[in-house]
Amino acid sequence: MFAQPNISPSLQAELGKAAVNAAHAVNYVGAGTVEFILDRHSHAFHFMEMNTRLQVEHPVTEMVTKTDLVEWQFRVASGEKLPLSQEEIHLHGHAFEARICAENPGNSFMPGAGLLQYLITPIPNSDVRVETGVRQGDEVSIHYDPMIAKLVVWGEDRTCALMKMRAQLTEYNIVGVDTNLDFLLDLCNHSKFFSGNVHTNFIEQYRSELLAQKTPPDHIIIQAALAMILSEQLEDEKAAAASQGPFSPFFSEFGFRLNHLLVRDISFTYGKQVITVQVTHKKQDGFLMRINGAEKQFDISGTLSLTDGRLNITCHMDKRVVKSHVVITPTHIHLFTKDGSYQFALPVHKFMSVEKEGVGAVGGDVAVAPMPGVVEKLYVTAGDIVKIGEPLFVIIAMKMEHVIRAPRDGQVEKIYCHVGGNVLKDAVIVKFVKDDKDGQNAV
């Protein structure tokens, strides 16, 4: 058992006693987890359930009691006695566990699936545990829940532990699937959470703050543009190394670079926002950059460097130095900073058009699968008349049911799947009769 904010030692003792009594009442022998729900005003508590196993949160107990409960299970199962009695177990400090999940908090925490194209974790030590079963290149499957890892930290007190959790979350870098990492970081940074004023309605109460769409600040946009330019320069250097003939335009170390315009526009998107950075190459090293035609112009220089498997960007911005981890893919630039991560969609080539990744058929005339999964139920057949919001079908994915509802009033024209069938993300499941402008097919 571990200490929680606003729970007195006497209340903690009562909870522990009630848990032991529950086990005794059913003559239970073995590891178990008893859960209670507590009224934060009256401090009255009520029994919820008992799980006859270790729960996913057991590392928190291990960190604050300095025990290995899994080892204890093996010892007891082999006939040994418990290594310690209850009186010999003492609490030390505070611990947090964050569940890193493949899900989209901005879309009702919809679980996702896909390939872990890039995965860097915090470095474990005596105060930091990373419990995971995946590596870079593995797939988050639709057949299991979307949890990627458990990140557990320990500190001398709650404040210390929470500050460590903040720092370690920024060291967890994932590309390939949506995750809740930024949401967890925002949660740790929330003043009410920091003070320990936590309750079961916390996320709903502060939804607008915790799930707000971030607007990238200027220094983040500048780093994204600089990363794109510096990566192009690295490609040029590779070309130069491969083309050392005296008549090659890459042979000279000086002079004008063929694909580097004196002034150019770099365009990418952040969410639905199109961002354009005007870049002027200075005669000496560095650039002048202007964001979305603003009057303010930044004097920029910087470098890319590889350290411990991470590509780092160091950006000198006027008289300021900013640093981030960066991952560059053919379609995106991902920046990982101490304040969270930012993802910018790149142009198809190196100019202005932008291609979005993973956009499927959506809109008024079709209903699509929001993720890969198995069709569990179909509520409609061809010819049915439905109203907006009525359930159309159910998909099972990540051990959860997801009800997909009608995007508009209309008549079902065709069903493209059957119950028990596997479907891919963005697969069209239900097609509606197309509305004509005269409203002949409108319902």
> Is residue 177 domain-shared with residue 236, that is, in the same domain?
no
Task: Give me the number of domains the chain comprises.
Answer: 3
Instruction: Calculate mean pLDDT across residues 187-214.
Output: 93
pLDDT at site 4: 61
pLDDT at site 243: 61
> Is residue 115 domain-shared with residue 199, that is, in the same domain?
yes
Average per-residue pLDDT in the chain? 86
Classify residue 357: in a domain, yes or no: no
Classify residue 356: in a domain, yes or no: no
Residue range(s) defining the domain that contains residue 391: 366-432
Classify residue 354: in a domain, yes or no: no
> Is residue 325 domain-shared with residue 230, that is, in the same domain?
yes
Task: Determine phi and psi for 304, rounding to 5 degrees.
Answer: -110, 140
Determine which of 65-69, 75-79, 361-365, 420-424 has the lowest per-residue pLDDT on average: 361-365
> Is residue 79 domain-shared with residue 133, that is, in the same domain?
yes
Classify residue 108: in a domain, yes or no: yes
Domain boundary at 164, 190, 210, which? Answer: 210
> Is residue 23 domain-shared with residue 57, that is, in the same domain?
yes
3-state secondary structure string across the chain = CCCCCCCCHHHHHHHHHHHHHHHHHCCCCCCCEEEEEECCCCCCEEEEEEECCCCCCHHHHHHHHCCCHHHHHHHHHCCCCCCCCHHHCCCCCEEEEEEEECEEHHHCCEECCEECCEEECCCCECCEEEEECCCCCCEECCCCCCEEEEEEEEECCHHHHHHHHHHHHHCCEEECCCCCHHHHHHHHHCHHHHHCCCCCCHHHHCHHHHCCCCCCCHHHHHHHHHHHHHHHHHHHHHHHHHCCCCCCCCCCCCCCCCCCCCEEEEEEEECCEEEEEEEEECCCCCEEEEECCCCCCEEEEEEEEEECCEEEEEEEECCEEEEEEEEECCCEEEEEECCEEEEEECECCCCCCECCCCCCCCCCCEEECCCCEEEEEECCCCCCEECCCCEEEEEEECCEEEEEECCCCEEEEEECCCCCCEECCCCEEEEECCCCCCCCCCC
Q: How many percent of the chain have pLDDT more than 90?
A: 59
pLDDT band at 398 (very low <50, low <70, confident <90, very high): low
The CATH number of the domain where 377 resides is what?
A: 2.40.50.100
pLDDT in tens, 267-314: 999 988 999 999 999 877 899 999 999 999 999 999 999 888 889 999
> Is residue 70 domain-shared with residue 45, that is, in the same domain?
yes
> Is residue 72 domain-shared with residue 203, that is, in the same domain?
yes
Q: Is the pLDDT of residue 136 over 90?
A: yes
> Is residue 70 domain-shared with residue 184, that is, in the same domain?
yes
**Residues known to be catalytic:** 53
> Is residue 121 domain-shared with residue 161, that is, in the same domain?
yes
